[in-house]
Structure 1
Amino acid sequence: MIGRSPGEAGGATVPSPSVRLRDRGLRATSNRRQILHLLGSRDAHLSAAEVYEALRRTGERVDPATVYRTLEVLTEVGLAHAVDGPGPKRYGDGSAPHHHAVCRRCGAVKDLPLGGLADAARHIEELTGLRPDASGAMLFHGLCGACSG
């Protein structure tokens, strides 16, 4: 999540990538560990291409198709989440539920804490019947500061 150091989510310690993978019944392969660590250590949601480039810059030998498949598997088991918007799908760490704000123009994704928007989410549900998804999250669209200025 944005503004946290690796291994922390909402002040709680997050287990290592290896432990998190094994807890979900997955083998803790090097690629899976590296990708999960990368998602948990960045202050942004990344596209599959950005994950591939980040791993390549660190000297990790990985195929783009493997990155995409790994991101999909991590999303399926709840270790990561995907955010659709303009441009490519972006992935983030799934260690703590949160809402998202997505820029309609550039596709930038920002995390929004659940607690800070609890009243707003209840009000939206009262007005529209729309509820947070299975992860407890809602998606908000608008223009980021860079695109609206």
Structure 2
Amino acid sequence: MVGARQLDRLSAVRDQVRAAGRRWTVAKGAVVEALLATDEHLSVQQAHDQVSARFPQIDRSTVHRILLALADEHVVHILGRQGEARYGMADLPHHHAICSHCGNEAEIPAAAIAPALASATAATGFTFDSSSVTLTGLCEKCTAA
């Protein structure tokens, strides 16, 4: 079950999808609810596990197609992690750091990256439309090892 804040986010996402001329289905709503219920990024299997607990008729391939469609609609972003894509909500701006050795992930507040994006815009003339920047490197634990 989602809380009041998640219901507001769910409603905003539903409106965004419909405004783009896309259908809002029970399955799509269940996938978004699964993502809203966690602070983590979910793999297709993890999302399917959560969705199928409530809706056993929704198969894994449907969840995968929905996640890809939601990524195309900029509702979710895709985070690669050692060959397994993970999906997270894109409605609250944030960025990611991923350890290239162990796969550890950390979220970076959008405000921490904003000056670098502004500098990149000034240097290139590009207007960046990405809702997420992913930086790779070594986490503190792997650096110490």
| Normalised-by-shorter TM-score class | 0.7 to 0.9
State whether residues 6 and 36 of structure 2, in contact with CA within 8 Å, keep that contact through their aligned partners in structure 1: yes
Count of aligned pairs between the two proteins:
137
> Aligned with 2:24: secondary structure?
coil
> Aligned with 1:14: secondary structure?
helix
Of Structure 1 and Structure 2, the greater helix share is in 2
Q: Which runs of 5+ in 1 are unaligned?
A: 8-12
Match of 2:15 among 2, 14, 19: 19
State whether residues 96 and 132 of structure 2, in contact with CA within 8 Å, keep that contact through their aligned partners in structure 1: yes
2:74 is aligned with 1:100: no
2:137 is aligned with 1:142: yes
CA distance in 2, matches of 1:66, 1:118: 35
Q: Which runs of 5+ in 2 are unaligned?
A: none
Change in CA separation of 1:102 and 1:133 when aligned onto 2, cut-off 3 Å: farther
Which residue number corresponds to residue 6 of structure 1?
Answer: 6
State whether residues 87 and 107 of structure 1, in contact with CA within 8 Å, keep that contact through their aligned partners in structure 2: no
Percent sequence identity is: 27
What TM-score do the two structures reach when normalised by structure 1? 0.73
The RMSD of aligned alpha carbons is: 2.8
| Bigger radius of gyration | 2
| Counterpart residue identity of residue 137, structure 2 | G
State whether residues 104 and 141 of structure 1, in contact with CA within 8 Å, keep that contact through their aligned partners in structure 2: yes
